[in-house]
């Protein structure tokens, strides 16, 4: 039987069972950087490597429109979000987020999040222990709301943070986690749609130059303003990913516990090392397993074929742990980013391509800036790590140290 016409078994159930390891395992079995398979009933072509990233993000090959399954839209991204658009519509919507790439915006978010962290530390000092993931989520939620100009009562910060993390935690699973994610999105979209309405009717004033003001005033490629629900979705696409940095904060604490030699250069304020540490946390620890799109036409990649309308899957976790790119991918070694320049499309924890015109996350620079700041604060903070289950399961997506990283005896944090 011809290799191109050979039937493909559907691998959706093994994917759900194996999580992050599924696609790297298939790549290993294939002894290459491309795999043909079938996912959710569709033929699929899975690939990785810098050239594959450029192939994947070329709109002549792959579209994201209609590629994101409804369960992901209904929890993580939201319907009609920028992630679902292609071509001129995507570029017009992306303009809404481009100011987030500016250094002043990155510094502003880091400043607000740092202030929220410093406000929380005295409360942590009065408690026997804290779960860092939960506390970091609340800190990040407070900080990003202030930065975005979105009102948030302090008493509501914890519940709002739980909604934000629930949306991320439930996108890749069925059952109770998924239901919690949908309910959380519904609550937050309703809250933010009311806010957009109040801004547009003059009942609430958006701060000049704020994310809130930009979203309320944005016009799409058709010249029309975003409807209230879509505006709420895009506000959430700024607020939710920032709160989701709690995963990376927890991973940072895990790394400092496992490899304490990284604490001193972080605490000393070595800016280059702080950036390298942030990159290595994003590379080493599992967050996004893969990204998908639909083939615009019949596609061939290194001898493998997928028909028009088939899935094209970029192996994010596998690429970030590819020995040909990293040499020692399963060693946590921030200094690798100080020793050589890393190609733009080699490190892809938040996707690849051009952040200004493509689907690469426009908030990536914000992620790095906030993580630099909070990792340094962690390194300077006095605490102990009591006995707990810090195991990180590759079967659960998204994953996290099992305990959420419990810190005891928090005593001090330098600013």
Bond preceding residue 398 cis, omega within 30 of 0:
yes
CATH of the domain at 340: 1.10.630.10
Place of tokens 């950087």: 33
Q: Report yes or no on 337 lying in a domain.
A: yes
Q: Report yes or no on 405 lying in a domain.
A: no
pLDDT of residue 86: 66
Q: Report yes or no on 135 lying in a domain.
A: no
Q: Which helix (H) or strand (E) segment is 37 a member of?
A: strand 34-39
pLDDT of residue 414: 46
Q: What is the reported pTM?
A: 0.93
Strand-pair partners of 225: 219
- The pair of structure tokens assigned to 148 is 């975005």
Q: Report yes or no on 397 lying in a domain.
A: no
Decide the pairing of beta strands 311-314 and 42-47. Answer: parallel
Q: Report yes or no on 136 lying in a domain.
A: no
Q: Report yes or no on 204 lying in a domain.
A: yes
Q: DSSP alpha helices (H): ranges in 95-175?
A: 103-125, 132-148, 157-169
pLDDT of residue 76: 76
The parent domain of residue 269 ranges over: 12-108+156-238+263-368
Decide the pairing of beta strands 299-301 and 304-306. Answer: antiparallel
Q: Report yes or no on 29 lying in a domain.
A: yes
pLDDT averaged per 10 residues in sequence order, the chain, 415 residues: 55 88 91 86 93 93 79 75 72 81 90 98 97 99 98 97 96 87 96 98 96 92 90 94 98 99 97 97 96 94 92 96 95 96 88 65 84 98 98 96 98 59
For the chain, the first-to-last Cα distance in angstroms comes to 66
Q: Is 121:106 a contact under the CB 8 Å cutoff? A: no
Q: Report yes or no on 243 lying in a domain.
A: no
Place of tokens 């298939």: 26
Number of domains in the chain: 1
Question: What is the C-alpha to C-alpha distance for residues 22 and 396, in angstroms, rounded to an integer?
Answer: 12
- 18 to 22, 107, 195, 400: CA distances (angstroms): 5, 38, 41, 15
Q: DSSP alpha helices (H): ranges in 285-315?
A: none
pLDDT of residue 121: 97
């Amino acid at each position: 039987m011809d290799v191109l016409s050979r039937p493909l078994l559907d691998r959706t159930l093994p994917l759900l069972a194996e999580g992050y390891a599924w696609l790297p395992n298939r790549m290993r079995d294939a002894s290459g950087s491309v795999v043909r398979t079938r996912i959710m009933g569709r033929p699929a072509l899975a690939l990785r490597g810098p050239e594959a990233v450029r192939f994947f993000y070329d709109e002549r090959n792959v579209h994201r429109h209609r590629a994101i399954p409804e369960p992901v839209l209904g929890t993580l991204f939201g319907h009609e979000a920028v992630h679902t658009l292609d071509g001129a519509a995507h570029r017009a919507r992306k303009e809404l987020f481009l100011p987030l790439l500016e250094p002043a915006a990155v510094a502003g978010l880091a400043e607000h999040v740092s202030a929220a962290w410093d406000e929380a530390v005295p409360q942590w000092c009065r408690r026997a222990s804290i779960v860092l993931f939960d506390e970091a989520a609340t800190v990040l939620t407070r900080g990003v709301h202030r930065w975005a100009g979105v009102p948030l009562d302090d008493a509501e910060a914890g519940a709002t943070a739980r909604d934000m993390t629930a949306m991320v935690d439930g996108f890749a699973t069925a059952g109770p986690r998924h239901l919690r994610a949908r309910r959380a999105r519904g609550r937050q979209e309703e809250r933010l749609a009311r806010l957009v309405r109040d801004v547009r009717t003059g009942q609430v004033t958006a701060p000049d130059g704020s994310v809130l003001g930009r979203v309320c005033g944005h016009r799409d490629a058709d010249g029309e303003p975003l409807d209230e629900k879509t505006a709420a979705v895009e506000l959430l696409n700024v607020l939710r990913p920032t709160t989701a940095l709690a995963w990376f904060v927890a991973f940072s604490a895990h790394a400092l516990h496992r490899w304490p030699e990284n604490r001193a250069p972080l605490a000393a304020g070595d800016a280059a090392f702080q950036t390298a540490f942030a990159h290595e946390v994003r590379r080493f620890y599992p967050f996004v397993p893969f990204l998908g799109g639909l083939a615009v036409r019949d596609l061939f990649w290194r001898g493998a074929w997928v028909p028009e309308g088939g899935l094209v899957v970029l192996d994010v976790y596998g690429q970030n742990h590819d020995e040909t790119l990293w040499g020692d991918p399963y060693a946590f070694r921030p200094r690798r980013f100080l020793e050589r320049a890393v190609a733009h499309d080699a490190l892809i924890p938040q996707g690849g391509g051009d952040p200004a015109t493509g689907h690469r996350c426009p908030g990536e620079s914000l992620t790095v800036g906030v993580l630099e700041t909070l990792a340094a604060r962690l390194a300077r903070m006095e605490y102990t790590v009591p006995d707990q289950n810090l195991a990180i399961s590759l079967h659960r997506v998204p994953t996290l140290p099992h305990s959420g990283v419990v810190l005891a005896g928090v005593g001090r944090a330098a600013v």
